[in-house]
Amino acid sequence: MSRKPNLTPIQSSFIQLLYDSKINWNDHKVIKGNIAFKVTCGKCKNSRYVLKLSIQKQVTSRKPFHGLCRKCNGRHVYPPPNAYKGYKKEYKKSVTQRGYYSLVISGLSKEDQILALAMKQQNGVSPRVLEHRLVMARSINRPLLRSEHVHHINGNKLDNRIENLEIWSTKHPAGERMPDLQEEIKRLQFILNSHNIPY
């Protein structure tokens, strides 16, 4: 005599479905003696049957079940630990070996974190983001593509004012354009003159 399968939905705070993924608790089938429910991935909209034991095992070990298929789950970028928590207006910058400012993603505002994480999708999640790329992404209101490069017009890699940055669709050559350097010299001379500093 076969045992009646347990069709009771799993109630857990660790079932956190992303992109409108769905678990159809009314659509089920038996796979090798175990009950499986139909799960629809919210990104690719493909459906598959997932063993109830697999879902239960995942949420029992305090890991969220998102409902994404294996392919979409591999492409999804999850926030780093403590993301969106403890936002501080003052956060430390560090300088990379190549001379650029980098910022800790978890110390940024929620909007900046979303931009930074979206730019990390192709390279994997990193706890840091380059400041000049984040400034440009904030300016154009979208994440930068991996093929897009940000050039410092005056050659100062630590000067991340938006007026000193320009976006390139290809990798830019080393160095600066002569007209850009002449414009930067005029700007610095104006600052010195306005403060009566001899040079």
- Within 8 A by CB and 6+ apart from 166, the residues are 150, 151, 153
User: How many CA atoms are closer than 13 Å to the CA of 57, on its beta-carbon side?
Assistant: 5
**Residue 63 CB-density burial (10 A; 0-12 exposed, 13-18 middle, 19+ buried):** exposed
pLDDT tens-place string over residues 43-89: 889 999 999 888 888 888 878 888 888 888 776 655 555 544 444 44
Quick one: pLDDT at residue 192?
77
Strand order across the beta sheet in which 34-40 lies: 22-31, 34-40, 47-51
Spatial distance between the Cα atoms of 94 and 153, rounded to a whole number of angstroms = 21
Residues of the chain with pLDDT under 70: 1-5, 75-92, 121-126, 170-178, 180-182, 184, 199
The answer to whether 119 and 132 have CB atoms below 8 angstroms apart is no
What's the Rg (C-alpha) of the chain? 25
Quick one: pLDDT at residue 95?
86
Quick one: pLDDT at residue 89?
44
Query: 93-194: what fold?
Result: Homing Intron 3 (I-Ppo) Encoded Endonuclease; Chain A (3.90.75)
Q: Where are the domains of the chain?
A: 22-75, 93-194
Number of residues that make up the chain = 199
The answer to whether 46 and 38 have CB atoms below 8 angstroms apart is no
Measured in degrees and rounded to the nearest 5, phi and psi for residue 25 equal -70, -15
Quick one: pLDDT at residue 66?
87
